[in-house]
Each structure stands twice: as C-alpha cells, then as structure tokens.
Structure 1
C-alpha cells in the first residue's frame, strides 16, 4: 500500500496542505460555521416551540451560543497574531459554554434538540484545542493518523488540552515572583513589613485611648469643680469617638483603603486636641491627661507615616513588576495580594485566593436571592433565577477546586476556577435583550472577576513550579 505524503493529504475541504497552523485555522473556521448554524437554528426553534420550559432553555442557549460564537471568532483573530495560548483559551471557553446549554435542558427534565449539533461543534473545538496546544511543540506537517486520534479520543484530548494554558503561562506568572524578588533584593524600603508595624501602632493607640478614657472616668468621679467636670465630660465623648475612629482606620488598612485609614487617624488626633483646647478655654490650664494625650498622638502619627510607607512600597513594586499596559490592573492586584500574604507560601496563598473568590461568589449569590424576594419585574425575575443557578454552579466548581489543589490536580483547579468568570459573564448577557433594563449585579462583578483572576494566576504559578 502506497503511503501518501502528508503534504498532499486533504483533511478538510479547501485545505490542500496539512500544516499544523493551516489545519488549526480550518478546524476553527469550521467551528465558526457550526456555531453560527446552531445559533440560527435556535432562533428558528424559538418561533416554533410552545413548551414554556423548553422556551426558557432555548433563550438561555441563545445567549450561550452567542458567547461561544464570539469566543471562537476571537480565537481565529488570536491565531492570526500568533496568540496560540489565547486561541486555546477562547476555544476552551466556547466548548464549556456549549455544554451549559445541555445542562439547562437536563435541569428541567427536557430533551435538548441541540445535542447532536453540539456534539459536532464540540468535536471541532476539541480538535482546535489539541492543535493550538501542540503548535508550540510540533512544526511542519501533521500526519493524518494524528487527526484521526484527535477525532477518536476527543474527551481525552480535551482534558489534556486544558493543561496547555497552565504550562505555557509559566514564564509570565513566574516572572511576577522573580520580579518581586528582584525589587525586594535591591531596595531596602521593600524589605520592611509596614502593614504589620502600622497595625501594631494602631492597636497601641487604641490601648492608649482606652487608658485615657478610663482615667477621665476616674477624674470625673473625684472632681467637684463644675468647669472641670464639664471639660472632662466633653473629653470622655472625644476619646470614645477617637477610639472608634482608630478602629475604623484599622479596618480600612486591612481593606487597603489607605486614604480612609489616614483620614480616620487625623480625625482621632483632632478629637484629642479638642479635649485640650476645652481645658485651656474654660479653666486655663492643661488637662490631667495631657501627658497621656501626647503619647496617643505620637502613636497615631507614627501609624500614619507607616501607612504612607506601605503605599509607597506597593507603588514601587507594582511599577517595577507590572510594566505591560495590557492587564496592568490585574497584575497590580495580584502583586498586592502576593505581598500581603507571602508568609503563607505559594500553596497557602493559592488556596486563600480561591477561598476569597468563593466568599465573594457567595456574597453575590446571597444578594441575588435578596433581589428575587424584592423584585417585581418579571423580566428581571426570570434573569435573576438564571443568574442564581449560574453563580451556584460557579461556587460549586470553586469548592471542587480546593481538594483538587490539595491533591495537586492543578489542571482541574484551573478549569473549575476559570469557569467562574464564564458563569458571571453569562449572567450579565441575560440582561442584554432589553436595552432599558440594566443588570443589578454589574457593580459586583468586577471585584469577583479580580479575585478569580488572582486565584488563576496563582494556580498557574504553582502548576508551573
């Protein structure tokens, strides 16, 4: 039997030469064609289906396949700019989105009229995934048996293909750690843990303020002079409020609200000064707590200086590490998270990042349930019910990623955490049918996406290491 030269194989119509890149483009082009046909078919089904449950499912599927269509088109554009890793991620997202449609029908105990079309589309995505993954490792032409293996082993290939983004992202993510380490080595400022020191000073200021408040109560019980009593009563209220402001500053520091933290500190020192001013005005002498006030003010002002140094340190490192304009905000957020939690080590940081994303996802899910009880608009109600299911799925998948991290199944963790943003985007897409109705969840989505992004960056990094 004569063996045909790979250069003459025709795997897809119109593909005369079976080169790796050419074959990938043809697979993606066919996927674009398929997903467009599915979307058009859904439009037709929407006009002919009478079952309410199936209609609702088809509306959701219309959104899903529209997103899948955009992802596949983006993958084609990425291939044109040699963004093989981006193309791989877009194709993976499209395949996952298509599966969501089938899940909707299964949940409502209805048979999906799109299953066969979905299978064909997903097979093309599978081929595209495997080929984009291989583009960094194979060059030249692809043997025909390789294409057959792709078709016959789609589930296995799909699982392995997801490992591509993790291993390929190693240089970019690991470089963040290397860049941070380099800045820490070369700049003495960055080696000081200003946050710990600032928190310590604020806690000491609270302790000082409490001692002053107790001393004022003691002085009030001993004095009979009406003017002194009046001054001490005012001072008692001043220091009670000052302690509350320092506590607010401590909370703002933990939340990285450095401007607010400094504002509350200055407010506390203004209240302590108001106490002294009252004594000078009414009894023309220093208060019995003047010496204690000096120590309180010193603690406050020192904590303010430490917060300034903390902000300067973070700016310095972020500027040195996050050079590229693209994704700079995400890079800065990741750097700040790493700096804040570096004591946990990479595995501990990664789990914490997933837990924080999970916590925020639960917050949005709970907010949706509140909105469902208070919203009367039927269109909004219907979309919120879908969003509730989407976020519930995202939460479940992120929970699954935690034991996956423990057992070092980083590819699984990457897929499950990464899918969370897909579900959030799908929720937002539900509200695009009516231009006059905005999603009530839009404001909460950026924080969720940021936390998921940090978790993914760390998962990729731990996998790379």
Structure 2
C-alpha cells in the first residue's frame, strides 16, 4: 500500500471516530435533513418513505448520522428477511402458474443471498469499511430489481411482491446514500488538504457540495 493511500485510511479512521462522538442535536430534524438530502441525491427515493421508516425505530430519535446509517441497514435486513419468508409461503400454494412459480423460485434465491450480504454490510459499516459496505448494499438493490423484473417479462402477470421489492429498494437506497455521503465527504476533505471536522449541523451541507 502506498504511503498516500495508507495516510488516507488512517485519516479516515480518525475522521469517522471523531465525528461518531457527536451527540444528535435533534434526532427528528436530523432524520428530516438526512431524508431530504437522500431524496435529492436519488430521484427514485421517496422522502416520505425515508422519514416514516427511520422514525419508526425508537432509537432513531437519539441517533447521530452514522447511527442512522446503521439503522437503515438493519431496517433493510429486517425487510429482506420478512420478504424471504413471504416468498417461501407463496411457494407453498397449490396450482401455482408455472411462470409465476419460476419467478418466485428466483426471488427466493435472490433474497436468500441478500441476507448474508446485509450481515456483511453491517459488519463492514461498523468496521468503517465503507466501500465494502457500499458494494454489499448495492447487491441487495440489484436483487430486489431483478426479482420484480422477472414478473414483468410476461404480459398479464402481476407481481405479488411489488410493494416488498420497492420497500427493499427504498431502504437500500437510504443506506447507500448515507454510506456514500460519508465516504465522498471524507475524500473531499482529504483532497483539499483539510483535516478540520465540520460542525455537526453542517455535515449534510458539506456532503451536498461533493
């Protein structure tokens, strides 16, 4: 590893460790600001869905930005696990259309693979391996999209998993936006030779500039 790359990762570890120590000034406002920025960065992400999902977790009201990222990954994992159970239940139905059954089989495999990916994402996120966490969560978005697209390949077929696939997509997009925001802001600061941590309330303002 080159000295420059080594120095960057040392800085990154200090950067996030320092910032993680800031208490949430106002958990509710932080959620609103986070979801607003996430929705602006990704036009496919629903602001209202983001707010409702994060606020549904009691701990989110006292969370800082990094903790919100962890919460969003856990929400995605919970949804993926529940969706896998739902697919398994649907596959037990008798007289399933062969095409629909084939799609459900594919979805079951996709969601089965997504669970360990999210477990790894949580581990990578906690270990501040943000690029790895980004890859882990991105694969889950691909799984939800692939599952839904399978049903659309035949005219007249209605997917029984549209809402669940969309929820998985949205939750994963929220997590990705936060993860990418952290990493891009760190790269921006390093690239400009700046090692001063931005004020807590100015964090998303910095990310918006990147």
- TM-score normalized by structure 1? 0.30
Bigger radius of gyration: 1
> Do the aligned partners of 1:334 and 1:457 also contact (CA within 8 Å) in 2?
no
Q: Which has the higher contact order (CA 8 A, sep 6+)?
A: 2
**Structure 2, gaps ≥5 residues long:** 1-23, 187-210
Aligned to 1:458: 178
Aligned to 2:120: 400
Change in 2 beyond 3 A, CA 1:329/1:354: closer
Aligned to 2:153: 433
User: Is the partner of 1:373 in helix, strand or coil?
Assistant: coil
> Do the aligned partners of 1:358 and 1:395 also contact (CA within 8 Å) in 2?
yes
> Do the aligned partners of 2:27 and 2:64 also contact (CA within 8 Å) in 1?
no
Equivalent-residue separation in structure 1 for 2:44 and 2:149 (angstroms): 25
Aligned to 1:373: 92
Aligned to 1:327: 43
Say which of 374, 396, 417 aligns to 2:137: 417
Between the two proteins, the alignment pairs up a number of residues equal to: 157
Say which of 65, 68, 71 aligns to 1:352: 71
**Structure 1, gaps ≥5 residues long:** 1-180, 185-190, 194-312
> Do the aligned partners of 1:390 and 1:427 also contact (CA within 8 Å) in 2?
yes
Aligned to 1:31: none
Change in 2 beyond 3 A, CA 1:432/1:348: same
Say which structure is richer in helix. Answer: 1
User: Is the partner of 2:89 in helix, strand or coil?
Assistant: helix
Equivalent-residue separation in structure 2 for 1:365 and 1:327 (angstroms): 27
Change in 2 beyond 3 A, CA 1:373/1:402: same
Aligned to 1:99: none
- TM-score normalized by structure 2? 0.62
Q: CA deviation at 1:317?
A: 6.2
RMSD: 3.4
